[in-house]
A and B are shown apart, each in its own frame.
Chain A
Amino acid sequence: MELNELSIKLSQYETEGASFESFFINNVGQEVLQVIVDGNDELPIFVTRTEEQVLCICYLFTEQEINADKHAELNDTLLRLNVPMPLSAFAKIDNKYAIFGALSTSSTLEQLGHEIVTLSANSIDALDAISDYLTE
């Protein structure tokens, strides 16, 4: 599914009790869809498409927000949380820690919706779980 099609379909779609708002970003030649689940615009999901996969990324925090003495411990915790966390995995992009999921480009609206809802819930849970490692 193309991202603009996904954007239109998501606006009329509700799944697992969640509603979506999405905004199209295309200012560097790479299409990105910003999706907000249930009004949680603090943790938007960014959806982007390559030839092979659809990537859904949610940025959690920057490196600078980590309590300096807990950096290694946090990395260790994230690696341990990676497997139990459904559908999503932790990642690091530039200086930002993120949580992401990848889907096949032939995924249906239901699959994409489920992925986005799960990612959104995972991102909130993850931040909650590791907030002790972060500064204010």
Chain B
Amino acid sequence: MSILKKLFTAVKGGVNEVGEGIVDANAIRIFEQEIRDAQNALSEAKRSLTEVMAKEIQTSRAIKALEDDIDKHETYATQALDKDEESLALEIAGKIAEFEQEKSEQQQILSTFTANVSKLKEQIKQAEKTIVENQRQLSMVKTTESVQKATMAVNDTMTSGDSAMASAKQSLERIKQRQMDRQDQLDAAQQLADESNDKSLHDKMREAGIGEDASKGADILARIRAKQNK
């Protein structure tokens, strides 16, 4: 069963009561130890891989040298035949047979090394995958634990705090009220600023004899005169 499924079952089943972990601490420690062991095994495997690869290269080099020897001796044998040195040619051919025997032995060793290398590479890949996967699962378990503990801490705080008993709706109303109050204050401050701007402008206009206020007195007088004249 995957860790996530286990966690789900545990959470659903209400295992997470105060003081009771979803996965016991001992199991986490064992899991962590397993990951460390796997990491050690992995670095061990990587070391052997480099050793085997080194041997693979050495063997290829030996085979190359043998091939060179064979080529060289074939030339010698041809030369011996050219000079009608039949028995010498035969001796050289015997040497070539030895080289070829050795070469085929080395080739067998090489193919073993090559097979080993690809097997080790596959194992390393697999181990790395397992480690990453285990770490991911461990992190899920640990996060669940942390959240659980944090929730306990939060619950303690909330039940002793002022906002403990408020419902979400009441909380929302309070926040909205606060946001509105703040906006009203801003609006009021803006209005005040606007008004004082207006006032100083009006003062200046009056001084300059511009605008409604300046003409008011004259207007009223004109109105009174108009009435008298009727």
Q: Chain B residues with Cβ under 8 A from A42's Cβ?
A: 163, 166, 170-172, 174-175
Residues of A within 8 A of B150 (CB): 30, 32, 46, 48, 55, 57
Question: Which of the segments A7-15, A59-67, A75-83, A109-117 contacts the partner chain?
Answer: A59-67
Interface size on B, residues (CB 8 A): 28
Please determine whether A134 and B169 come into contact, CB atoms closer than 8 angstroms: yes
Q: Given the complex of chains A and B, what is the CA–CA distance between A53 and B147 in angstroms?
A: 11
Residues of chain B with a CB closer than 8 A to A94's CB: 16, 151
Q: Write the A40-61 contact mask toward B (1 if CB under 8 angstroms, else 0).
A: 1111101011111101010111
- Which residues from chain A sit less than 8 Å from chain B, CB to CB? 25-30, 32, 34, 39-44, 46, 48-53, 55, 57, 59-62, 65, 93-94, 124, 127-128, 131, 134-136
Q: Are A61 and B167 in contact (CB under 8 A)?
A: yes
Further contacts, 18 of them, CB under 8 A, given A49-B146, A127-B168: A30-B149, A30-B153, A39-B178, A40-B175, A42-B172, A42-B174, A46-B150, A48-B147, A50-B146, A51-B139, A55-B143, A55-B146, A60-B168, A124-B175, A127-B171, A134-B167, A134-B168, A135-B167
SS class of chain B's interface: helix, strand, loop or mixed?
helix
> What's the minimum C-beta distance from A128 to chain B, rounded to whole angstroms?
6
Task: Indicate whether A65 sits within 8 Å of B178 (C-beta atoms), given known contacts A50-B139, A52-B139, A53-B143.
Answer: no
B residues in contact (CB < 8 Å) with A:
16, 139, 142-143, 146-147, 149-154, 156-158, 162-163, 166-172, 174-176, 178
Residues of A within 8 A of B143 (CB): 50, 52-53, 55
- Chain A residues lying within 8 Å of B158, measured Cβ to Cβ, are 59
Residues of B within 8 A of A57 (CB): 147, 150, 154
Q: What's the Cα separation between A129 and B152 when bound, in Å?
A: 28
- Known contacts: A28-B152, A65-B169, A131-B172. The answer to whether A34 contacts B146 by CB under 8 A is no
CA distance A41 to B93 in the complex (A): 97
What residues on A are CB-neighbors of B176 within 8 Å? 128
Instruction: Give the CA-CA distance A136 to B166 in the complex, in Å.
Output: 10
Could you say which residues of chain A place their CB within 8 Å of the CB of B178? 39-40
Closest A-chain residue to B146, C-beta based? A50
- On whether A46 and B154 interact (CB within 8 A), knowing A39-B178, A40-B175, A51-B139, the answer reads yes
A50 to B, closest residue via Cβ: B146
| Top 4 A-B pairs, shortest CB-CB distance | A30-B149, A42-B171, A61-B168, A48-B150
CA distance A7 to B216 in the complex (A): 63
